[in-house]
Amino acid sequence: MLKRYTSELTIILFTVGLVMISGLIRIVSYGFGSTLYYVVFSCFLAYRLIRMIHNRRKPWASYQKYRLVLFLIMLVTLVMNIAGWQDADFFLLFLLMADFLLLIN
């Protein structure tokens, strides 16, 4: 059976597209748009966690340590946003951009 591989770059670009859609929905319905925004980032972080577990035995490239740090910061920021302790939606986008730059470099 043929295995299909989706690159991390594709996942990041797909996440950005969904974040843009959730932003447009947020203009019309703030509650639903905010929920969709957090669901999109939760799915992205779940995918990253699954990929890290899947590749745990492989040797790490030099940028993987930085991506792990970004993952942990994204996770903490997302939990704090959902809990209502901070309102830093743009910071999550900034971290996603930094992850994208680490990946393409």
DSSP codes of every residue in 28-69: H-HHHHHHHHHHHHHHHHHHHHHHHHHTTTSPPPTTHHHHHH
- The count of other CB atoms within 10 Å of the CB of residue 36 is 18
The predicted pLDDT at position 75 comes to: 94
For residue 2, the model assigns a pLDDT of: 56
Residue 59, both tokens: 């040797």
- List per-block mean pLDDT (blocks of 10 residues) for the chain, which spans 105 residues: 74 93 94 93 93 87 88 94 87 92 87
Residue 52, both tokens: 């890290």
